[in-house]
Structure 1
Amino acid sequence: MENFTFKIVNPDSEIPYHLLLLADETREAIDQYIFNCEIYLLHDGIENIAVMALYKNSDTELEIKNVAVIESYRSKGIGSILMDKAKEIAKENQYKTLTVGTSDTGFQQIRFYEKNGFIKNGILKNFFIENYPVPIYENGLQMRDMVILSHHLTE
């Protein structure tokens, strides 16, 4: 496998919207959270192939606000590398829980998070209806609720 490197995006650097938009619908939606996140890029030696934005919800909880992998690297374990890095960052900073939210229609994403040790623990009703100006569809279904999944970190 390639020699991947992680780098944190400097707050003064350009925000990698082209990658973040792979996981979120609009730049406006991204702007609701991105300025309060730490952004990590995964580089394969040639280009940035993935992004992850982490947000401090509290002293004990770190949230994955955005995670995306370019299409040519999908289904190759890159997402799991990102999840491992998120868990490592959370542990290093003494968070107890790592959380993520995804659409109730994101069946593949939910399975991915569960495969990586996350468990469903909540629903934000009508999140996508109330927070996006136009209906969004995934897997032929209108996105309505956000499913919250958590991973409890151990020592």
Structure 2
Amino acid sequence: MTIRKLRVHEELPLGLLLEADPSEQLVRDYCAGGHCFIAEQQETVIGVFVLIALDSDVAEIKNIALAEPQRGKGLGKQMVLSALEEAKKLGFRSVEIGTGNSSLAQLALYQKCGFRMKSIDRDFFTRHYDDPIFENGLQCRDMVRLDYQL
């Protein structure tokens, strides 16, 4: 797997991005203001992550997604670690990431990569999304925020 910055003339891998965030408008908005990176295998896009600046010292991994057939192979961890490395190259001192309370695998992955729990934004998903989101038999209501010091 190789990871590189999406080139200006390339289209967003919208299908993958929408797996992690169901709002096309929100995805397009933060991609326009962020750094989009794609993971490829044999010239096929299999993953994506987007880094945005929260301020001059803090970046956020705003979206990270891996194609279904590639999951469970350690590639997600490689992508998270690559995002941290890219944030460091861009001069950030810390990185934040948020995920839903129902995103159990993601919460485990981020902590395995060294992220620590920071805060919970109660009812984030019910405030920002019209349709309820369900995952792992739970309604996704709260945004769990984690951070990593570079």
Same fold (TM over 0.5): yes
Give the equivalent residue in structure 2 for 1:121: 118
Ranges in structure 2 where 5+ consecutive residues have no aligned partner: none
Letter in 2 for 1:39: C
Give the equivalent residue in structure 2 for 1:77: 74
Q: Does 1:8 align with 2:10?
A: no
Letter in 2 for 1:112: L
Q: Does 1:103 align with 2:104?
A: no
Q: Does 1:17 align with 2:14?
A: yes
1:79-133 Cα deviation digits (max 9, x unpaired): 1111111111121122111110000111111011001100111111111001001
1:17-70 Cα deviation digits (max 9, x unpaired): 011112112313313422111110111114111101111111110100111111
Q: How far is 1:7 from its partner?
A: 2.0
- Give the RMSD, CA atoms, in angstroms: 1.3
Do the aligned partners of residues 133 and 32 (structure 1) sit closer, same or farther apart at CA in structure 2, a change above 3 Å counting?
A: farther
Q: Distance in 2 between matches of 1:66 and 1:150?
A: 14
Q: Distance in 2 between matches of 1:150 and 1:10?
A: 28
Q: In 1, are the aligned partners of 2:51 and 2:87 still within 8 Å (CA)? A: no
TM-score by length of 2: 0.94
Give the equivalent residue in structure 1 for 2:90: 93
Q: Distance in 1 between matches of 2:31 and 2:88?
A: 22
TM-score by length of 1: 0.91
**SS of equivalent residue, structure 2 residue 8:** coil
1:20-31 to 2 correspondences below 5 Å: 20-31=17-28
